Structure 1
Amino acid sequence: MNKIFLFISFALISITTQAQEIKWMSFNEAVKAQKKNKKPIFIDVYTAWCGPCKILDKKTFSNPETAKFINDNYNAVKFDAEGNEEIVFNKMTYKNPGYKPERKNSRNAMHEFTGFLKIQGYPSMVVINNKGQIQKTIVGFKTSEELKKEL
């Protein structure tokens, strides 16, 4: 009986924990999802070397209320501004031709999509509406409360 209770308790804790995390996807996945659910796309634009980006992850995005708010209202994307992901958006393909794999955990070349988003600093968060237009750009670390007010 104790084993069944422990199993059920563990399962419930796992479900609760999962429900409190942002469901991040690639940008290409978010574009597909947006066609079905019409939610705006929320993009966390970060780099591997950005300290405030890591604090944003640890303090803001891990907040259960913030995670629920973003999951309920947006298709959430984590986008490495210096990464090597190929992005297809509005009939354009964006790449990072200067990307160097050996530098993936430090400063690297800027991705073409970062330029399209007109990113000025890190972290930045961008909202793209369901018409494919940049609706809002939020620059810098934000607390959960500040981010919800901005969104």
Structure 2
Amino acid sequence: MQTLKLAFLFSWLTIFSCAQRPKEEKAKLNWLSLEDVTAKMQQEKRPVLIDLYTDWCGWCKVMDKRTYSNKQVSDYVTSKFYPVKIDAESKKTFTWKGKEYNFNKNARAHDFAIWLTNGQLSYPTTVFIPVDGDPQAIPGFLAPNELELLVKYFGEGNDKKISFDKWHKEFKSSW
């Protein structure tokens, strides 16, 4: 009898562990180049969100998979920002607001990445550039609900109305 109960329990657990869970809706963020953003800014001013990454960064890949592929993140970022993905070790020349940035051999990083992070390189780093403001770099992996706090702060212009500390205390995540 004991063996029968254990067999039944084992079978039941196996069935439930193999049952399909509803999949989270995946989305693909349409990343733009800096050149595209410069052209689009002529038509419509928006803040810029930059995903600063490297090819060897494991957490950058996790953030792509878990955060930027989240439908709510993708929809919101696409509607409020110009999203740009930049390899911090790229050898390509970048032009931003009329200034050219190149790869810095001594730092083994791109001068644009160094400028965006004020020399505090870390990967991944999410950088927000308000329409008429300076880059605000947020280092480290951000889950969708953590990114929500930031994208809604900058995406809705709250950075011009309220301190981040006050925003953070009052913010209620919906993602």
Q: Find the aligned partners of 2:141 and 2:134 in 1 and give their Cα distance.
A: 23
Max radius of gyration: which structure? Answer: 2
Q: Does the CA contact (< 8 Å) of 2:88 and 2:113 recur in 1? A: yes
Could you say if the C-alpha distance between residues 81 and 43 of structure 1 is closer, same or farther in structure 2, counting changes exceeding 3 Å?
A: same
Could you say if the C-alpha distance between residues 130 and 146 of structure 1 is closer, same or farther in structure 2, counting changes exceeding 3 Å?
A: same
Tell me the secondary structure at the aligned position of residue 57 of structure 1.
helix
Number of aligned residue pairs: 125
Percent of aligned positions that are identical? 30
Structure 2 residue runs without a partner (length 5+): 1-24, 152-175
Alpha carbon RMSD of aligned pairs, Å?
2.1
Could you say if the C-alpha distance between residues 85 and 42 of structure 1 is closer, same or farther in structure 2, counting changes exceeding 3 Å?
A: same
Indicate the residue corresponding to 1:10 in structure 2.
Answer: none
Q: Read off the aligned partner of 1:141 and give its amino acid letter.
A: F
Superposed CA offset, 1:89-132 (max 9, x none): 23210011539xxxxxxxx9200101111243110011112225
Aligned runs of 1:75-114 on 2, under 5 Å? 75-96=82-103, 98=105, 109-114=108-113
Indicate the residue corresponding to 1:131 in structure 2.
Answer: 132
Tell me the secondary structure at the aligned position of residue 103 of structure 2.
coil
Q: Find the aligned partners of 2:97 and 2:69 in 1 and give their Cα distance.
A: 31
Higher relative contact order (CA 8 A, sep 6+): 1
Aligned runs of 1:31-46 on 2, under 5 Å? 31-46=38-53
Tell me the secondary structure at the aligned position of residue 76 of structure 1.
strand
Shift of 1:63: 0.5
**Normalising by the residue count of structure 1, what TM-score does the alignment of the two structures yield?**
0.75
Q: Find the aligned partners of 1:57 and 1:31 in 2 and give their Cα distance.
A: 24
Q: Does the CA contact (< 8 Å) of 1:43 and 1:77 recur in 2? A: yes
**Normalising by the residue count of structure 2, what TM-score does the alignment of the two structures yield?**
0.65
- Judge which range, 41-50 or 87-96, deviates more: 87-96
Q: Find the aligned partners of 1:111 and 1:65 in 2 and give their Cα distance.
A: 31
Moved segments of 4+, more than 6 Å:
none
Could you say if the C-alpha distance between residues 54 and 26 of structure 1 is closer, same or farther in structure 2, counting changes exceeding 3 Å?
A: same
Q: Find the aligned partners of 2:133 and 2:90 in 1 and give their Cα distance.
A: 22
Structure 1 residue runs without a partner (length 5+): 1-15, 100-107
Shift of 1:88: 1.2
